[in-house]
């Protein structure tokens, strides 16, 4: 990809994201093409001949990560099967150990016809196998499916391997990250939402030292973080300091983020927070569950990273423990030079692959893609994302209002919700009716984030060394980053680890990305 084409791609991403805010719901438009059968030359469940034999349901096995405690019942699956004329077998595996199951299933040739990965990292791990021809290429077939053909081309391009498309994507807003914080604490202490990184530090300090919960005991901390450099607090705060989004130009060529001084500045910020006692001391070993539990117990005032849209679930659990608590969201935090920036994802958080070991021929592949074409209709996407109307949600002002019974949604819908491909602009599903002021604010901030968004210039580029060794090499930087923030490495020690990264393959990654970038 040339520098010019990357610039055009970024421009397209920003434009489409901003336009989507004004586009509204696509339910009526998508409903017009909800029967995908005509596009593939196959029969649908409907027939004009009453004597004709009904078409046999297509049997499809699907493997995907489960982000809840229990496997969902068949409530949603049964309804989906009726609409799509399929017999679906879902193989749910816990998200925490999904990578292990994915790798073992791949090694034994036992992946099912439809294989969801876990995230962008697992996708990178599969690229060599994709190049080896072990998964079906689907790019040339999408034009046969009118609904699948609505998927955003700029995001599809970010998932291509050697210029070919093998995946369907689960869409996500480009920049959802920011701060969820205790507004009631801030108001009590006379603090506004932090305008810059200095004020963010000051808020964390005040939330720790000034008894914001008013119980006369020093038992609160400013920030609770978890063992995740990307979706925890680190990467979001790092972008505010001006650190590139994974890679950026330096001295005339692409260089990794951890070679920039702003990355050091970010590590210094967290090191000082930890040394001051203004965040949880063991954040490098803290799970997301434990971090969330600390926040909703009322003992922490700042939760940064991930998605500001998590405010709904955090608020629900927090007010059980602290009924008078008030949460708000914030993301416009300027760096030391007064500039705003937000790192952006490539428009997806997971992808779906179709193994040749499980899908015997193109005809079977088309039957499976037909199911996904149905999923890209309002009828099916709403069912899988929101549940059954009247039971799991109602429609208010053209938007979905989830039932107050969050446990019911978690149990019956969540497992399927996480598998819906596309996004509301392309599959026509309802947008959420938000009533919590902090969540309404979060949705506004997501759009503001994109205006100062920073894309990863390597998102659509390939590096053979990164594909084969990138995860292993990244662990060197991850360990060094935590050690620095814990005070176990100084700057010279960290830079020594960067050189270690380069000598073990990182230099090849730099060379390969630059070769692809300048093509």
390-419 residue pLDDT tens: 999 999 999 999 998 989 999 999 999 999
Q: Does pLDDT of 35 surpass 80?
A: no
DSSP 245-258: SSEEEETTEEEEGG
| Whole-number Cα distances in Å, 417 to 375, 386, 461 | 11, 7, 30
pTM for the whole thing? 0.80
Write out the two tokens for 65: 């990560």
Please tell me the distance from the alpha carbon of residue 421 to that of residue 226, in angstroms, as a whole number: 28
DSSP run (H or E) holding 496: helix 491-501
| pLDDT at residue 52, rounded to an integer | 62
Residue 277 has pLDDT above 60, yes or no: yes
Task: Collapse the DSSP code of 351 into the 3-class scheme (helix H, G, I; strand E, B; otherwise coil) and give the result.
Answer: strand
Give 44's pLDDT tier (boundaries 50, 70, 90): very low
Give residues with Cβ within 8 angstroms of 281, minimum separation 6.
Answer: 274
Reference 459, options 305, 369, 331, 351; nearest CA is 351
> What tens digit of pLDDT does each residue of 99-158 get?
999 999 999 999 999 999 998 889 988 988 999 999 999 999 999 999 999 999 999 999
pLDDT higher than threshold 70 for residue 43: no
Q: What is the DSSP string of 165-204?
A: ---EEEE--S---EEEEEHHHHHHHT-PPPSBHHHHHHHH
Note the pLDDT of residue 105. 96
Q: What is the largest CA-CA distance in the chain?
A: 80
- Which residue, among 267, 203, 271, has the nearest Cα to 238 in the 3D structure? 267
- Write the pLDDT tens digit of every residue in 162-178: 889 999 999 999 999 99
Burial of 319 (0-12, 13-18, 19+ CB in 10 A): middle
Average pLDDT, the chain: 90
Cα separation of 108 and 112, whole Å? 11
Q: What is the mean pLDDT of residues 483-487?
A: 98
* Residues contacting 334, CB < 8 A, separation 6+: 195, 196, 197, 240, 340
Predicted pLDDT of residue 38: 40
Cα gap 180→176, rounded to integer Å = 12
Whether the per-residue pLDDT at 352 is higher than 70: the answer is yes
pLDDT at 46 over 80: no
In tens, the pLDDT along 360-377 reads 999 999 999 999 999 999
Q: Give Rg (Cα) of the chain.
A: 24
The CA distance from 190 to 115, in Å, is 51
**Residue range 432-453: mean pLDDT, rounded:** 96
Q: What's the confidence (pLDDT) of residue 51? A: 56
The answer to whether residue 514 scores a pLDDT higher than 50 is yes
Mean pLDDT of 333-353: 96
Nearest C-alpha neighbor of 433 from the set 395, 384, 466: 395
Classified as helix, coil or strand, 393 is strand
> Which pairing describes strands 342-343 and 168-171: parallel, antiparallel, or unpaired?
unpaired
**How confident is the model over 461-471, as a mean pLDDT?**
89
Distance CA 25, CA 431 (A): 7
Look at residue 49 in the predicted model and tell me its pLDDT: 54
Predicted local distance difference test score (pLDDT) of residue 475: 96
Residue 90, strand partner residues: 62
- Flag whether pLDDT at 423 surpasses 70: yes
Residue 161 has pLDDT above 50, yes or no: yes
Q: Determine the pLDDT at residue 42.
A: 37
Query: Strand runs (DSSP E) across 76-164, as ranges?
Result: 86-94, 114-116
């Amino acid at each position: 990809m040339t520098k010019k084409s990357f610039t055009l791609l970024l421009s397209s991403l920003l434009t489409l994201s901003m336009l989507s805010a004004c586009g509204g719901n696509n339910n009526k438009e998508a409903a017009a093409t909800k029967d995908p059968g005509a596009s593939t030359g196959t029969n649908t469940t409907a027939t004009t001949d009453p004597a004709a034999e009904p078409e046999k349901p297509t049997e499809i096995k699907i493997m995907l990560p489960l982000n809840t405690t229990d496997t969902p019942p068949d409530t949603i699956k049964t309804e989906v099967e009726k609409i799509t004329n399929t017999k679906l077998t879902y193989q749910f595996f816990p998200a925490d150990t999904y990578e292990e199951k994915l790798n073992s299933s791949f090694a034994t040739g036992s992946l099912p016809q439809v294989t969801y990965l876990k995230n962008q990292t697992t996708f990178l791990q599969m690229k060599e196998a994709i190049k080896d021809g072990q998964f079906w290429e689907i790019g040339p077939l999408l034009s046969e499916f009118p609904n699948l053909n609505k998927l955003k081309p700029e995001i599809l391009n970010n998932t291509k391997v050697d210029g070919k498309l093998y995946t369907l994507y689960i869409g996500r807003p480009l920049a959802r990250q920011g701060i969820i914080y205790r507004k009631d604490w801030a108001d009590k202490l006379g603090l506004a939402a932090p305008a810059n990184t200095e004020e963010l530090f000051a808020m964390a300090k005040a939330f720790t030292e000034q008894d914001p919960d008013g119980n006369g005991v020093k038992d609160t901390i400013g920030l609770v973080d978890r063992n995740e450099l990307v979706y925890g607090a680190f990467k979001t705060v790092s972008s505010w300091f001006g650190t590139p989004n994974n890679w950026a130009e330096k001295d005339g060529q692409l260089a990794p983020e951890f070679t920039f001084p702003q990355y050091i500045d970010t590590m210094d910020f967290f090191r000082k927070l930890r040394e001051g006692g203004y965040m949880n001391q063991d954040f490098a070993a803290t799970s997301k569950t434990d971090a969330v539990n600390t926040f909703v117990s009322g003992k922490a005032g700042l939760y940064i990273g991930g998605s500001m849209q998590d405010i709904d679930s955090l608020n629900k659990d927090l007010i059980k423990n602290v009924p008078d608590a008030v949460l708000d969201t914030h993301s416009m935090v300027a760096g030391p030079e007064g500039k705003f920036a937000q790192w952006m994802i490539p428009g997806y958080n997971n992808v779906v692959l179709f193994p040749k070991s499980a899908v015997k021929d193109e005809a079977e592949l088309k039957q499976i893609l037909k199911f996904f074409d149905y999923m890209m209709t309002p009828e099916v996407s709403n069912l899988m994302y929101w549940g059954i109307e009247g039971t799991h949600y109602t429609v208010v002002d053209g938007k979905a209002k989830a039932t107050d019974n969050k446990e019911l949604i978690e149990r019956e819908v969540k497992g399927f919700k996480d598998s819906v491909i596309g996004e509301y602009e392309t599959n026509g599903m309802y947008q959420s009716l938000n009533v919590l002021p902090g969540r309404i604010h979060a949705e506004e901030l997501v759009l503001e984030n994109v205006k100062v968004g920073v894309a990863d210039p390597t998102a659509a580029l390939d590096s053979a060394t990164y594909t084969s060794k990138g995860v292993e090499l990244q662990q060197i930087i991850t360990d060094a980053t935590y050690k620095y923030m814990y005070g176990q490495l100084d700057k010279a020690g960290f830079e020594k680890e960067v050189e270690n990264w380069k000598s073990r393959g990182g230099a090849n990654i730099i060379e390969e990305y630059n070769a692809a970038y300048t093509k």
